Amino acid sequence: MHHQHNASIPLERELLSYSGSYSGVVSKPYSTKESMLLRFALDVAPLWNSPDEFTKALDLLPSSVRPSVTRFHFPADRKLALGSQLLQRFVIAKVYSNGKPSDEMPTLASISIIRDAKSGRPSYHVPSPHEGQEWVLQDYNVSHHNPKSASSDPCLVVLVARVTAAASASSLLRIGVDIVPTAHSRGTSSPASFLESFRDAGVFTAREIKNIFSPLNEEDKVKLLFLHWAMKEAYCKAVGTGLVTNLLAIDFRDIKLDVVEKGTRDTQVKVFVDDVAEVGWMLEIGKLLDGHYVAIAADSCSIENGEEMDGAWVWISIEEDILKHWS
């Protein structure tokens, strides 16, 4: 599921060459509109299974960042941290350096990523547009999932980014993403007790709880719980609060399990805050592989203004997309 590319061709043309899939369904390719939503995914499970391989990839990062990767005890967590740091820099380099070293970005380690003190979100300080620059990275967000099971199970990092044409760049456009499993498999609790633990946990509104518990079987109830959780997390990350907020004031409506399970992205979701509809948001939930859902929340969306929100997930190859150009 990895795709090779030519790093010398423009960003929008290169994205047209990818054939990334979303639960087996290939969406229409990215267009050359004034704004794009980019989607990238990386499975770190098969990567860096020897100390030499891990060190080779780790050395691509700034020395100050490496302890944030190696501090994790479990290999899967270290892989996810390393994959996240590399994927963030890959996307920044793709937008500003055509995916390969340049005078401005001679190495991946030269790309400085800051963390917002309030939300904890990583971000890149966007430089002032220069002559010849085609695209501006407005915002991006990362999520990951560790299955904490067999090493062969996918261990995923996903990143979504909003990119605008430099000539039309304006105020910051926010985005959030969250990836969750489709089934309850952690711990010793049964699906039933797992579900009940959320009934009065102050996470979901009464309307959301009614929707989550509406199916007859527990498997579908768990799936709906994860869909609601992912959507709420993605939205809160986009807003910048994370889940440290009054979650009961945020109500998601019209999340439909049958639509998502068909492999179709559900884009008819609505969000209400204090019972008032929030307009201008693109809310999307869908499947990424068979065992994972991904939710995306993007604000200030306007198709009339030329924003392209549809597009395929691009699966990143560490060897072809990163090591080939940056090691």
Structure tokens at 46: 């098969």
Distance between CA atoms of 271 and 283, rounded to whole angstroms? 8
Q: Which among 27, 31, 17 has a CA at the least distance from the CA of 267? A: 27
Torsion of CA 149, 89, 325, 65, to 10 degrees: -80
E strand intervals along 182-279: 250-253, 270-273, 276-277
DSSP string, 114-151: EE-TTT--EEE-PPPP-TT--EEEEEEEEEEE---S-T
What pLDDT, on the 0 to 100 scale, is given for residue 296? 96
Distance between CA atoms of 100 and 119, rounded to whole angstroms? 30
| Range 30-52 burial, b when 16+ CB lie within 10 A, else e | bbebbbbbbbbbbbbbebbeeee
10 Å CB burial of residue 231 (0-12, 13-18, 19+) is buried
What pLDDT, on the 0 to 100 scale, is given for residue 10? 46
Structure tokens at 20: 């990334």
| Range 129-149 burial, b when 16+ CB lie within 10 A, else e | eeeeeebbbbbbbbbbbbbee
Structure tokens at 205: 């509104």
> pTM for the full model?
0.86
What pLDDT, on the 0 to 100 scale, is given for residue 243? 55
What pLDDT, on the 0 to 100 scale, is given for residue 119? 67
What pLDDT, on the 0 to 100 scale, is given for residue 229? 96
What pLDDT, on the 0 to 100 scale, is given for residue 71? 97
Q: Which among 174, 157, 176, 3 has a CA at the least distance from the CA of 80? A: 157
Mean pLDDT by 10 residues, the chain (327 residues): 35 39 30 75 95 96 96 95 96 91 92 79 69 80 86 88 77 87 80 89 94 92 96 92 77 95 91 92 91 92 51 91 94
Count Cβ atoms below 10 Å from residue 10 Cβ, excluding itself.
Answer: 12
